[in-house]
């Protein structure tokens, strides 16, 4: 094929791909050249197989794009998966739910909640993120917020007169992750708005809440005993509480690094030992 013919073919291919994209067939536009076209003498079944393969390329592309949009819309701080989560012996799972049901997010279909409670760094956020991400991969709508972050969004929407519209939009979400309840004390208005969201989720959609505080200490965050009691009352009904105990993973990693450093130092001869060995070696040589 000469250069002119090759350029003409490339231009025609680009024009064809532009048409594909204009009719929303971006997947086929990206992958059609990898599919072998049947010959002129091909049977109808060969043509059908060719068309099927092109459409499957398009379908895979659309599913991947859809999942990426849902993951982006969810607002994860970091991406964590169930494959990388370690179920340590310090994690207490209540008899009301199994590990398999947690990983499969079966509780979401039942409009139940998870409360993950324990010290910082024990894996609560990792598990909450991984469960939510697995739902995104199944094409289901989730949102991830820290408690202060959601409170800030609600206050902003309220000030702009957009609160009702935002609360209406939340009704399309199947799971809301509310992370880090207890790290920052909320103002009265923020606490009341957060209560409103949790109250509207009751028996309508699921929540995963992570906290470093026991329920008895939540009034120090929300600042109002009656509001705290009402919020907890709605939250714990239809809820499975997982308790995370033991040292945080960051502390464990630090301890392991220190142990590894000491082991390496112990196995490496010191400069004094090396000097002694050198002297002994010289002394042992005969002229």
In a domain, 159, yes or no: yes
What's the CATH number where 169 sits?
3.40.50.300
In the chain, the N- to C-terminal Cα span, in Å, equals 80
233 with 99, same domain: the answer is yes
Least Cα distance to 78 among 15, 12, 146 occurs for 146
Q: What is the tally of structural domains in the chain?
A: 2
100 with 60, same domain: the answer is no
In a domain, 215, yes or no: yes
Which DSSP symbol is given to 60?
H
121 with 194, same domain: the answer is yes
Q: Which of 55, 73, 91 is the last residue of a domain?
A: 73
213 with 108, same domain: the answer is yes
Domain ranges, residue 68: 44-73
120 with 59, same domain: the answer is no
Q: Report pLDDT for 183.
A: 86
The DSSP string of 194-261 is HHHHHHHHTTTSEEEEEESS-GGGTHHHH--HHHHHHHHHHHHTTEEEEEE-S--HHHHHHHHHHHHH
102 with 172, same domain: the answer is yes
174 with 61, same domain: the answer is no
84 with 223, same domain: the answer is yes
Q: Write out pLDDT tens, residues 148-172.
A: 999 999 999 999 999 999 999 999 9
Q: Report pLDDT for 68.
A: 87
Spans of the chain, pLDDT less than 70: 1-17, 19-20, 22-24, 28-29, 32-33, 35-48, 50-51, 247-287
Q: Report pLDDT for 27.
A: 73
85 with 67, same domain: the answer is no
203 with 220, same domain: the answer is yes
Q: Write out pLDDT tens, residues 75-112.
A: 999 999 999 999 999 999 999 999 999 999 999 999 99
Q: Report pLDDT for 285.
A: 46
Whether residue 70 contacts residue 139, with contact meaning beta carbons closer than 8 Å, is answered with yes
């Amino acid at each position: 094929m000469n250069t002119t013919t090759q350029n003409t073919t490339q231009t025609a291919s680009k024009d064809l791909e532009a048409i594909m994209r204009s009719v929303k067939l971006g997947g086929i536009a990206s992958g059609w050249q990898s599919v072998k076209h049947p010959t002129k003498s091909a049977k109808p079944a060969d043509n059908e197989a060719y068309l099927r393969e092109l459409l499957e390329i398009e379908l895979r592309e659309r599913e991947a794009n859809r999942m990426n949009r849902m993951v982006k819309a969810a607002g994860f701080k970091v991406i964590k998966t169930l494959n990388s989560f370690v179920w340590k012996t310090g994690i207490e799972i209540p008899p009301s739910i199994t590990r398999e049901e947690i990983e499969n997010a079966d509780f979401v279909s039942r409009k139940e909640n998870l409360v993950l409670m324990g010290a910082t760094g024990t894996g609560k956020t990792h598990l909450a993120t991984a469960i939510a991400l697995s739902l995104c991969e199944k094409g289901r709508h989730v949102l991830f917020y820290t408690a202060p972050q959601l409170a800030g969004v609600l206050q902003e929407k309220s000030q702009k007169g957009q609160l009702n519209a935002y609360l209406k939009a939340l009704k399309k979400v199947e799971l809301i992750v509310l992370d880090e309840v207890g790290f920052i004390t909320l103002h009265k208005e923020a606490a009341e708005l957060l209560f409103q969201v949790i109250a509207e989720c009751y028996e309508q959609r699921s929540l995963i809440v992570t906290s470093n505080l026991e329920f008895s200490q939540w009034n120090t965050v929300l600042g109002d005993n009656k509001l705290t009691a009402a919020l907890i009352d709605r939250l714990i009904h239809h809820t499975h509480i997982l308790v995370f105990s033991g040292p945080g993973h960051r502390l464990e990693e630090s301890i392991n690094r220190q142990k590894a450093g000491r082991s390496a130092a112990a196995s490496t001869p010191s400069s004094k030992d090396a000097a002694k060995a050198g002297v002994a070696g010289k002394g042992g040589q005969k002229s």
